[in-house]
Structure 1
Amino acid sequence: MQADWVKTLPAHPRRRDALIAGFWLVVGAAAWAAGFTGIWRQLAVIEAPRWWFLVTLAAVVALLLVRSRMPLLALALGACVAFVDTLLGASLAVVFAFTDLIYAAVKYGSAGAVRILLRVAGAAAVALAAAVVLVAPGHPTVAVALVQWGLIVAVSGLWGWNVRAERASTSAELARRHASDTRELRTRIAHDLHDLVANQIAVAGLHVEAAKLQAAKLGRPEAGSADGRLPVHDDRSAPGPRPELAALTQSLERAKSGTDRAHHELRGLISVLTLVDEADSGAPANAGEELAALANLLPAGRELRWVGSAEGTIGLALAGEQAARVRILLRALQELTANAAKHGSGDVEMRAELLGGDFETAAGRPLQITVSNPRRPGEHAAPSGTGLGIEGTRVLLESVGGRLRSSADGASWSAELELPILGARGRRATATEGKR
């Protein structure tokens, strides 16, 4: 039971921080009772009774309660407490507790917070070096104490940085293994679906088609038995096909329609799995050429109209994006363009806009693309499409955080997709995280 409680600590930061704060409170109280106060009396500028060190200890322990949930705030306030404690002469307990705040800030802080800490640490190092040079000739003991403080802070920060780097490296390795295992699983599933399911459905469809032919042959009045004699239940006087054969033919028609639809949907699912694997491979995609080639999906005499700066907007959004996201979005646009031509008539229109900002501040903002086509029954042709289908396209977009909505009425067919993009700042942050 106790071992299970310890294992759950990483998932409960409040409990973990409270445990650490309690530990430092006990250690600090013991150090205070043992007289480990005023360890740097040469830095003291305030004469105060020893119980003041209990006040600074209580203050720093209180900040330890939020060490992993608000690390930067806890460190900033902890630096103020440590500064006051140093002006009193410094106590060993507060110094040690403050090093834990430094460690937690570097380990748990966000990427932006850590960059701020690096700048502050650099400025503090320069100030410390200048202070040591200035006070060393006249007050060598003060210079030694300052150097000791600087080394303690540096070791704590490097300790936290090392743990943070190891955690990032482990997470990256686990993510790589997970992606590899997932890709292998998708490949195996696609292979099994193709060989074990799709082929069997296709064979079933062929048998149904053969049964339909046999039923049609038996339904003809002139159909006889293999030896030239009429079937036992043949009724030449009955006009048209026999009722039981007509019902059988209708059932076979429905069965064939079902197998054809199942085969089509299964092929679409296999295409989705295959495309995700291709996207994960990181193979580069030429967005400009792919966008220009969308017009080739339309029948002769019909055009793809880019409304406003839609083509340029999509190109800017895809610039610098991950290769997998680019390939998935381009494949989705191919399917939507083909479906617009299939379900509508006339020219296909495509609109695009970045919602809520520009491309420099677009991290996480959605790129919205709308594909539409008017409907005039009987005037549109049905191109072959890309084999994914609307549902398969929706699954693809959801795999990268996007979404898809499609609708059709008597006047038009339209589809709208949204895909969050990284944006310039988001791409820089992602690159920084990757290097770290």
Structure 2
Amino acid sequence: MPDNLTADNADIAVIGAGIIGVACALQLARQGRRVVVIDRQPPGHGASFGNAGHLATEQVFPIADASILKRLPAMLMDPMGPLRLDWKYMPRAVPWFTRLLLNLRPAPFQRTIAGLRALNESSFAAWNRLLQSIDQTGLLKEDGSLLVFERAESRQAIEALQARMRQQQVPVDFWSASTVQNSAPQLSAQIQGGLFFPRTGHFLDPYRVVCELVSAAKAAGVQFLEQEVLGGQLQEHGVSLITHQGRFTARQVLIACGAHSAKLTAALTGKQVPLDTERGYHLMLPHEHERLPFAVTSLERKFIMTPMAGGLRLAGTVEFAGLEHPPFMERAWQLHRLSKGLFRRDLNAEDATPWMGFRPSLPDSLPIIDKVCDGKVLLAFGHQHLGLTQAAITAELVAQLVSPGTHSGLPALAAYRLARF
């Protein structure tokens, strides 16, 4: 352990070097805090590396609805389905799914929507502030996104979704088949139409976003340690963390290590958080450029395609199998098979690279953003599919927790408190 990292000069230790941890570290350093970021991997090598790159401000509904009960047999039987539950993981998953279903009752369901809306409606402006501050606004394309449907019988579902979105004040337009063809001419002529979300966007390279934030954080004095945090305990004047290289002490700790946050949260707060992981897969097609002008999602096929600097990224499949089960990369390759028929000419999968990462999900679909244990422990995890979308606003909220009055007009934190569990 370097001599200069001691309790005397480390104000905040951020556990997790993903997009949320790094964004928070930068904000905190700019407030004059002495910050160290600790992660067992290099920055941005977890879920932040392989996400869909979609700034998904339109996603204001919970991650599942009551129809999940009807889909359970398919989830167990179909290893290639869009939502899969591994048989071996089922005993551990059942309590989490039970809590998810309980949160679909009217009152908690509305609380979830309100909580997601509050963060998502603030996310675009927060990202613009953050990217402007590091002179990297070109990494975010503010050009909307499109949800398409192919079957005539899907029109009713699309119109119902449009009505629900408008009820929640999500900007959305119905596009006819001709409008879709004019805007994305390489898509198949069999597409019947879709919903266009003008207040969404996509990142050209999610990993580079993390790297640029890391560079800015280092320039602001943040130190990065590649170590694994094994545990920790509260002390009179701070928090002691145990790493594989010894002990490290800081006045405050921010737990922002995504799907790996539950164990340390329990050790420091005594609270067992019902955190599970949605294992997400992507397939990166490096030879596919200029196919799409913006991110496109298929209603029936249930996956998203995002144009990036490095090609076209196909993503969206979800698997519940825990943190230890090895990746089933055939699910990533299934994304290419799902794309067949969506374009006038099939996508080129030559030199494609598959990937799997862990999305940290809580059963009420909301993150935990809080300050507990007399202010010694800060929490920012559980953002499910919306970690990238909500990272910048989460960083501002954490900065506000540490230094009240730092930011104005931020969402209220009541919905994201640890005490709700």
Shorter-chain TM-score tier? under 0.3
Of Structure 1 and Structure 2, the greater strand share is in 2
Query: Is the helix fraction higher in 1 or 2?
Result: 1
Q: Compare CA radii of gyration and give the structure with the larger one.
A: 1
Structure-1-length-normalised TM-score: 0.18
TM-score (normalised: structure 2)? 0.18
